[in-house]
Amino acid sequence: MSTMGKDAPSQSVNPFKDSEDGDASRSAPKPALQDSAAFQFVRQLGLDLAKGEFDLPPFPDTALKVQECIRDPDGDVQSLAAIVATEPALAARLMRMANSALMRRGPMEVTDIPTAISRVGMDMVQNAAVSFAAREAFRAAPGSPCIDDLNRLRRESVQIAAVAYVLSKDVSSIRKPDEAMLAGLLSAVGKYYIFMKASDHPELFADRASLESLVAQWHTGVARAIVESWNFPESIAQGVDEQEISERDRIQAADLSDILHIACRIVRGGPGNLEAIGNSDALARMRMNGEKLAQQLHDNKDELQSMVEALSG
């Protein structure tokens, strides 16, 4: 977490130590794509997006079973616990969430899966499963040129998810903060997909400006296609699709797109962006200002870091 004063929030609104990206509100560079491989790549990506013919990774089986159990009217804690227990990495992630500062109730540490589910709630179990699924579905081969990019995006997405969850709890129009966390966890899936596809063309990684331009141009549309193919609600699909839209009607109530937009800018923005975020349409729709935003992040900095650690790994 960023170093902040005891009684007042820092002027930086990024609550994490390792934010590496610039302000997401700046327009991504769009250099001329003169390289033939880059041109063919973006052409094929556009065709795939238009036709809906993505070579999408399947939703991992264990995460799919978790999702089905949660949606089943007859699903209960014991049946969900039995599914989680079949995947040790997912079970460990759930236990970390249940014992995180954001979820913990009192001094008692949870040591069994059913109690962990009861503490965090079944919808939050889905978030743990999605965090696990995103890592499993987008796992690059050893030596792939996109490994560092995927690792960076995984760190970023769990930070965005934690910030979205904390912010949404103070926005009356957001009824389910765990959906805001879910949108955050899925915010980078379009980038995962593009980087993995681009790794089939190593020459693209020699021109980072062109590659970053491709990602900036296409990732939100690709993210929506993936979220829809994985059968998540329309509100989540809309949120990931509109995460970078800055011009919004300030009078209307905030939705997941607004929460995700602000969370992305906080995590990706770096220090000194409080004023820009404070004047944003999305924050106005959340009925917040820059001062209240900074205070909320300051007050929850330990809980945010705890949730990031729980969702990572």
Task: Indicate the range of 108-122, 193-207, 294-308 predicted with least confidence.
Answer: 193-207
Give the position of tokens 């220090």.
271
| Amino acid at position 226, single letter | I
Average pLDDT, the chain: 82
pLDDT at 7 exceeding the cut of 60: no
In 3-state terms, what secondary structure has residue 138?
coil
Average pLDDT over residues 243-262: 94
For the domain 1-57+144-313, what is the CATH code? 1.10.3210
Q: What average pLDDT score do residues 111-120 get?
A: 91
- Looking at per-residue confidence, does 8 or 108 come out higher? 108
pLDDT in tens, 150-185: 999 999 999 999 999 999 999 999 999 999 999 999
pTM for this one? 0.82
30 confidence band (pLDDT: 50, 70, 90): very low
Q: Which residue has the higher pLDDT, 274 or 231?
A: 231
pLDDT digits (tens, 9 = 90+) for 189-238: 999 999 988 888 777 787 788 788 888 888 998 899 889 888 888 999 99
Within a 10 A sphere around the Cβ of 262, how many other Cβ atoms? 28
The arithmetic mean of pLDDT across residues 106-113, rounded, is 84
Q: Report how far residue 23's alpha carbon sits from residue 13's, in angstroms, rounded to the nearest whole number.
A: 12
Residues 6+ apart with CB under 8 A from 133: 59, 60, 63
The token duo for 16 is 């994490």
- Tokens standing for 238? 């809309």
Residues 193/138, Cβ–Cβ less than 8 Å: yes
Q: What is the DSSP string of 269-284?
A: H-TT-HHHHHT-HHHH
Let me know if 207 is exposed, middle or buried by CB neighbors in 10 A (0-12, 13-18, 19+): middle
Question: Which residues are CB-contacts of 40 (< 8 A; sequence separation ≥ 6)?
Answer: none
- DSSP code for 11: S
User: 184 and 308 in contact (C-beta within 8 Å)?
Assistant: no
CA distance between the termini of the chain: 18
Q: At residue 11, does pLDDT exceed 70?
A: no
For residue 66, is pLDDT > 80?
yes
Rounded distance between C-alpha atoms, residue 245 and residue 257, angstroms: 8
Mark 220-232 as b/e (b = at least 16 C-beta within 10 Å): bbbbbbbbbebeb
Residue 5 above 50 pLDDT?
A: no
Q: Where are the domains of the chain?
A: 1-57+144-313, 58-137
**In angstroms, rounded to a whole number, what is the distance separating the alpha carbons of residues 92 and 110?**
11
CA distance 196 to 191: 8
Return left, alpha or beta for 36; rule: phi > 0 is left, psi -120 to 50 is alpha, else beta: alpha
Share of the chain above pLDDT 90, in %: 38
pLDDT digits (tens, 9 = 90+) for 44-63: 777 777 776 667 777 788 88
